[in-house]
Chains A and B, each alone.
Chain A
Amino acid sequence: MSVIGHWQERLGEGTIVKVCRWTTSIVLALVALTILTPTPGVAKAKAKESTTKPRSTIGAKTSTTTTNNNTALRATTSAAPVTTTTSPSLTGSINVSAAASLTASFTDIASAFEKANLKASVTLNFAGSSTLVTQIQNGAPADVFASADIANMDKLRAVKLVIGTPATFARNRPMIVVRRGNPLQVETLADLGKPEVFVALGAPGVPVGDYARQILAKAGIEVKPKTLEPSVSAIVNKVALREIDAGIVYVTDVAIDEYRVDGVAIPDDQNVIATYPIAALSNTKNNVTAAGFVSFVQSPAAQAILAKYKFLPPK
């Protein structure tokens, strides 16, 4: 008792509270600093922009909209296809909702697009395609949607949210993802049926889950997954955390995370190739830039980026 009392005098609750309070204020200050400090990339882009026009926010906004209208007019009057890689006329910001498996490649493509169109900016939103569809159906501000399967794109087409016909811009090969070093020696699809192997698949409606179920059904293998995840990233992360032993994702996911997970190829005759459609959405307020991004994704520059990440060309 006396010992406790002594310690309380030396290091009472007051001290702990004070330390906590100080830590909180320091952390808050750091967070504020991080938020307020512009990232170098953005700063550079802004600086480039400022050389072409004065940097007054209101002025910039109005000038953006006027140029936007001009481009719209130009686009309608000149029927010739615009080669987006060289066209400097795309402006304004667009939101691109893309399948989780496109995270790395679309991040690169978006910055290439911004470099080619200095007045345009792209905000990316990645999630499982089915989650994105639900978001878009419920009014999420998306100008472009890139899905990992046709079924999810069709859900948006059915409710007239898609402009025109979606274009296939890539294909992808499903693959078995296993823990680094493959400790349970998963070599075939049949190994996924073993009770000691913890398997994660995509949930119903999530493209990678639906492809996986097609593959397993075709091979006649019964797998009892431990969990049904909302996106490829969620599956890869659980395998990388070593909480799940194996799952079915895409070749591209394993390629990105090759330091955290390993991959086991699925033989072509057992595999189902994933098809990725992209389309501009009818809710967009920036038709031209949305359409420009869609055609940019199909341009050689973007296709090279997709190939670098091991996507297959669209036929």
Chain B
Amino acid sequence: MKTMTPTRRRPKARPPVAVLVLATLGGALFAVPLVAMLIRTPWRSAWSIVTEPELRTALRLSLVCSLSATAISFVLGVPLAWVQARLDFPGRALLRAITTLPVVLPPVVGGLALLLAVGRNGILGRYLFDWFGVRLPFSTAGAIVAETFVSMPFLVLSVEGALLGADGRFEEAAATLGASRWTIFTRVTLPALRPALIAACVLCWARALGEFGATITFAGNFPGTTQTVPLSVYQAFETNPPAAIVLSLLLVAVSLVILVTLRHRLVVRT
């Protein structure tokens, strides 16, 4: 954990009043809803709500899905990030744009695209079903695919950033010493990136945990198989608002812990 905090040598600026006022308004936009949620949380019944069997099911499912999505993202995303960072090939900008698309795309659109691709009648999905009997939509596997689709770009982006900033000379040295390309990748490149990889995985996991749009579109909404915590918040908002607030607060807490822990990694450094 050396030199994680950026050195602060900036002179203490006296801010213009207008900037201060606007910044306060900007900050309030995020802070006030959070405070409102804390005020409106039914603290007395909070524990009984969280331990309700239905919500426990949603929590367990969310954990399983988000962790699986993170694992898949790691296995597929790190090589993708390496290709994007280290290989020079035509269309690299296009590839980068495509792999980053889910970051800005409405997740519902992602879910729809997934249905058209690997849905039961999707261009690939129909063969998955005919040949292997695999049906992704409306299954837990489908929820994992949806979460992977939405969260992997976050991992790819951060790993690619780390790779671009990494010192390539160690790899060159390893190559001159006769290491194979695979050995260099697994023994030199990846270990050097470990802090970045951990941060990328946690970020990816947090995004997967909060995934809603793609999941409800592609995987549907059923308790126990595809109803993750965000989906159950959405449904509880109509049937059991106190439960919705408690669950939301839980998601907020988890995300906040992650963001505070990763603060130094997430700040854009020049």
Query: Once the chains are docked, how many angstroms separate the CA of A237 from the CA of B61?
Result: 26
Residues of B within 8 A of A205 (CB): 238-239
What's the nearest-Cβ distance from chain B to residue A36, in Å?
A: 23
Interface bits A254-280 vs B (CB < 8 Å: 1, else 0): 000000000000000000000000000
A206 closest partner in B (C-beta): B238
Query: Once the chains are docked, how many angstroms separate the CA of A236 from the CA of B74?
Result: 37
> Any chain A CB within 8 A of the CB of B29?
no
Q: Which one of A25-33, A37-45, A167-175, A220-228 is at the interface?
A: A220-228
Identify which of B92, B93, B226, B227 gathers the most chain A CB atoms within 10 Å of its CB. Answer: B93
Residues of A within 8 A of B92 (CB): 13
Taking A134-B238, A226-B138 as contacts, is the C-beta distance between A242 and B226 under 8 angstroms? no
> Any chain B CB within 8 A of the CB of A12?
yes
Residues of B within 8 A of A12 (CB): 90
Please determine whether A226 and B119 come into contact, CB atoms closer than 8 angstroms: no
> Any chain B CB within 8 A of the CB of A288?
no
A226 closest partner in B (C-beta): B138
Residues of A within 8 A of B239 (CB): 130, 204-205
> Any chain B CB within 8 A of the CB of A8?
yes
> Any chain B CB within 8 A of the CB of A58?
no
Residues of B within 8 A of A13 (CB): 90-93
Query: Once the chains are docked, how many angstroms separate the CA of A243 from the CA of B137?
Result: 7
Please determine whether A7 and B90 come into contact, CB atoms closer than 8 angstroms: yes
Query: Once the chains are docked, how many angstroms separate the CA of A17 from the CA of B121?
Result: 34
What's the nearest-Cβ distance from chain A to residue B115, in Å?
A: 6
> Any chain A CB within 8 A of the CB of B88?
yes
Interface bits B101-124 vs A (CB < 8 Å: 1, else 0): 000000000000001000111000
Residues of B within 8 A of A17 (CB): 93
> Any chain A CB within 8 A of the CB of B89?
yes
Interface bits A131-144 vs B (CB < 8 Å: 1, else 0): 10110000000000
Interface bits B138-168 vs A (CB < 8 Å: 1, else 0): 1000000000000000000000000000000
Interface bits A203-233 vs B (CB < 8 Å: 1, else 0): 1110000000000000000000111111000
What's the nearest-Cβ distance from chain A to residue B191, in Å?
A: 29
Residues of A within 8 A of B89 (CB): 4, 8
Which residue of B93, B120, B221, B223 contacts A242 across the interface (Cβ within 8 Å)? B120
Residues of A within 8 A of B115 (CB): 241, 243
Residues of B within 8 A of A200 (CB): 220
Please determine whether B121 and A225 come into contact, CB atoms closer than 8 angstroms: no
A135 closest partner in B (C-beta): B238
> Any chain A CB within 8 A of the CB of B97?
yes
Please determine whether A243 and B138 come into contact, CB atoms closer than 8 angstroms: yes
> Any chain B CB within 8 A of the CB of A198?
yes
Which residue of A133, A225, A229 contacts B238 across the interface (Cβ within 8 Å)? A133
> Any chain A CB within 8 A of the CB of B43?
no
Residues of A within 8 A of B227 (CB): 228
Query: Once the chains are docked, how many angstroms separate the CA of A225 from the CA of B138?
Result: 10
Please determine whether A16 and B91 come into contact, CB atoms closer than 8 angstroms: yes
Please determine whether B238 and A227 come into contact, CB atoms closer than 8 angstroms: no
Taking A133-B238, A203-B235, A204-B235 as contacts, is the C-beta distance between A227 and B220 under 8 angstroms? yes
Query: Once the chains are docked, how many angstroms separate the CA of A133 from the CA of B237?
Result: 11
What's the nearest-Cβ distance from chain B to residue A27, in Å?
A: 14
A6 closest partner in B (C-beta): B90
B112 closest partner in A (C-beta): A241
Interface bits A166-186 vs B (CB < 8 Å: 1, else 0): 000000000000000000000
Query: Once the chains are docked, how many angstroms separate the CA of A11 from the CA of B91?
Result: 9
Which residue of B94, B119, B222 contacts A227 across the interface (Cβ within 8 Å)? B222
Taking A225-B222, A227-B222 as contacts, is the C-beta distance between A244 and B138 under 8 angstroms? yes
Residues of B within 8 A of A242 (CB): 120-121
Residues of B within 8 A of A243 (CB): 115, 119-121, 137-138
Taking A4-B89, A242-B120, A244-B138 as contacts, is the C-beta distance between A226 and B222 under 8 angstroms? yes
Interface bits B181-225 vs A (CB < 8 Å: 1, else 0): 000000000000000000000000000000000000001111101
A5 closest partner in B (C-beta): B88
Query: Once the chains are docked, how many angstroms separate the CA of A16 from the CA of B90?
Result: 9
B136 closest partner in A (C-beta): A243
Residues of A within 8 A of B94 (CB): 16, 20
Please determine whether A134 and B90 come into contact, CB atoms closer than 8 angstroms: no
Please determine whether B222 and A228 come into contact, CB atoms closer than 8 angstroms: yes
Taking A130-B238, A133-B238, A134-B237 as contacts, is the C-beta distance between A229 and B91 under 8 angstroms? no
Query: Once the chains are docked, how many angstroms separate the CA of A87 from the CA of B97?
Result: 57
Query: Once the chains are docked, how many angstroms separate the CA of A241 from the CA of B220?
Result: 13
Query: Once the chains are docked, how many angstroms separate the CA of A226 from the CA of B225?
Result: 8
A19 closest partner in B (C-beta): B94
A134 closest partner in B (C-beta): B238
Please determine whether B90 and A8 come into contact, CB atoms closer than 8 angstroms: yes
Taking A130-B239, A134-B238 as contacts, is the C-beta distance between A16 and B93 under 8 angstroms? yes
A241 closest partner in B (C-beta): B115
| Contacts beyond the supplied A225-B222, A226-B225: 4 A-B pairs with Cβ under 8 Å | A4-B88, A16-B90, A16-B93, A238-B220
Leading 9 A-B pairs by shortest Cβ distance: A227-B220, A226-B138, A13-B93, A130-B238, A242-B121, A205-B239, A7-B90, A134-B238, A8-B90
Between A and B, 8 residue pairs with Cβ closer than 8 Å are: A12-B90, A20-B93, A130-B238, A133-B238, A226-B225, A228-B220, A228-B235, A229-B220
